[in-house]
Amino acid sequence: MIKKFLILITVVFSSLSFAQQGSSSPYSFYGIGSLKFKGTVENQSMGGLSVYSDSIHINLRNPASYAGKNLKSFNNEARPIKYTVGGSHTNLKLNSSSQSDETNTSSIDYLALSIPLGKFGAGFGLLPFSSVGYKLQSSGNDDIIDYRYRGEGGLNKVFLGVGYQLSADFRIGVDASFNFGSITNTNIAFGYNDKGEILQYQSREVNRSDLSGLTYNFGGIYTKLIKPNLELTASATYTLKSELNSKNQREFSTILIDPTTQQEFVVNSAEVNLSDSNLDTTELTLPSKMAFGLGVGAPRKWFAGIEYTFLKSSQFSNRLLTIQNASYEDASTLALGGFYIPKYDSFNKYWQRIVYRAGVRLEDTGLRINNEDIKEFGISFGVGLPVGRIFSNANLGFEIGKRGTKSANLVEENFIKFQLSLSLNDRWFEKRKFN
């Protein structure tokens, strides 16, 4: 199992550059791109709900989940080592008031490992945090192109967390994440003569930012059996406001564009000395975040919960790039969801051990463009299919939703996301008995 996990790590590290291109949303033009992480496939299949935590799945959004009780079904043995890897494929339809388009993206979403350490528990892993991937153009009268914009890159994060079983009902935890990555934004200005004919040469501006910095997340989980077959669960997380160090470069070029292939050929270029304006190194502010969740359910049978997340997006700032007609307000997300298991310990009917999940989320992204608030809505479904031993499973998720609006010359996105993950459990260091 250790060998297999190391292979997975190698695959994900080699795919990080690919994962950073996991967005084709025009709204990734703003800020640090589209935020990628909304939890594991299990979480996302329940509308992004992360209040629930158990002994056989990793909850990446709350570090308190790394600690936990032993497994009664295995003679009160220690919790198994858990590791998970997940990916997704998204079909995106873009609609404006005048035209439409369609695109597809695929990405690796996370890789993580959780290890029990008595009353403690540790977790670590890596995942894409945000993704930039857009191609836009502005047109004036007679559909003449004035500007063309494109962007690529994003942020990844590697994290290490520790949880502690403070009492029989209460767990706490903290994790530290190192965020790193680069974002490149390019814009091309098209020039025309008095007759409206395009000039031979165009001007191109390229801005690149290499980002790095730490963030800290604290969490707590409370579970209480209020009736013989009814358990109450409450959770809370808080992510501190943090600063990312941004090393910036800016270059201006004169280019030729092949009208057939759209390939760009640089005629001459010059790098801007950003140190003269104190922009060669800047700080980019990541806002604080709070989440509160509450749910009830019968252990190993069903669960239903609600979760509210508040992101203080108004704290976001980036001195290097100022975008007109766009601002950041505080964001919020409301998630409702749950799961149902017909009979988790059935030995003769496989379908009774399948986990059925569903949920819905309502999100105000905090992004305001042309005096329009950008909102997002999603309905999700999923199943957990038992594989192997010790309650390992393959998880399939499906989400349909909408982001943005066609008002105020903006774009409405309709998306369908397919997700797949493996949530595996094993005992790497169990003692073997020989007769």
| Mean pLDDT over the full length of the chain | 87
> Considering the domain boundaries, does residue 316 fall inside one?
yes
C-alpha 379/C-alpha 396 separation (Å) is 14
pLDDT at residue 430 greater than cutoff 70: no
> Considering the domain boundaries, does residue 317 fall inside one?
yes
Q: What is the mean pLDDT of residues 1-6?
A: 47
Closest CA to 39 of 154, 148, 164, 125: 125
pLDDT at residue 373 greater than cutoff 90: yes
H/E element, 17: helix 16-19
> Considering the domain boundaries, does residue 398 fall inside one?
yes
In the chain, the percentage of residues whose pLDDT exceeds 90 is 60
> Considering the domain boundaries, does residue 70 fall inside one?
yes
By 3-state DSSP, what share of the chain in percent is helix, strand and coil, each rounded to 5?
10, 60, 30
152-200 tens-digit pLDDT: 999 999 999 999 999 999 999 999 999 999 999 999 988 887 777 788 8
Q: Are 162 and 121 in contact (CB under 8 A)?
A: yes
Compute, in degrees rounded to 10, the torsion defined by CA atoms 255, 260, 261, 266: -10
In the chain, the percentage of residues whose pLDDT exceeds 70 is 89
pLDDT at residue 355 greater than cutoff 60: yes
CATH number of domain containing 10? 2.40.160.60
> Considering the domain boundaries, does residue 407 fall inside one?
yes
Give the pLDDT band (50/70/90) at residue 429.
low
Higher pLDDT, 253 or 146: 253
How would DSSP label each residue in 379-420?
Answer: EEEEEEEE-SSTT-EEEEEEEEEEEE-SGGG--EEEEEEEEE
182-192 tens-digit pLDDT: 999 999 988 88
pLDDT at residue 209 greater than cutoff 60: yes
The pairing of beta strand 331-340 with beta strand 302-311:
antiparallel
Give the pLDDT band (50/70/90) at residue 332.
very high
Q: What is the mean pLDDT of residues 336-345?
A: 94
> Considering the domain boundaries, does residue 434 fall inside one?
no
> Considering the domain boundaries, does residue 432 fall inside one?
no
Residue 2, pLDDT score: 45
Give the pLDDT band (50/70/90) at residue 237.
very high
Q: Are 147 and 323 in contact (CB under 8 A)?
A: no
pLDDT at residue 139 greater than cutoff 80: no
pLDDT at residue 337 greater than cutoff 60: yes
Count: domains in the chain: 1
11-39 tens-digit pLDDT: 444 444 444 455 678 898 888 888 887 78
Range of the domain at 269: 2-426
C-alpha 154/C-alpha 157 separation (Å) is 10
> Considering the domain boundaries, does residue 435 fall inside one?
no
Give the pLDDT band (50/70/90) at residue 277.
confident
Q: What are the E-state strand segments in 142-191?
A: 145-165, 170-189
pLDDT at residue 334 greater than cutoff 70: yes
Residue 257, pLDDT score: 86
Residue 353: what are its φ and ψ, rounded to 5°? -95, 0
Q: Are 188 and 204 in contact (CB under 8 A)?
A: yes
Residue 1, pLDDT score: 46
Residue 385, pLDDT score: 95
292-313 tens-digit pLDDT: 999 999 998 999 999 999 999 9
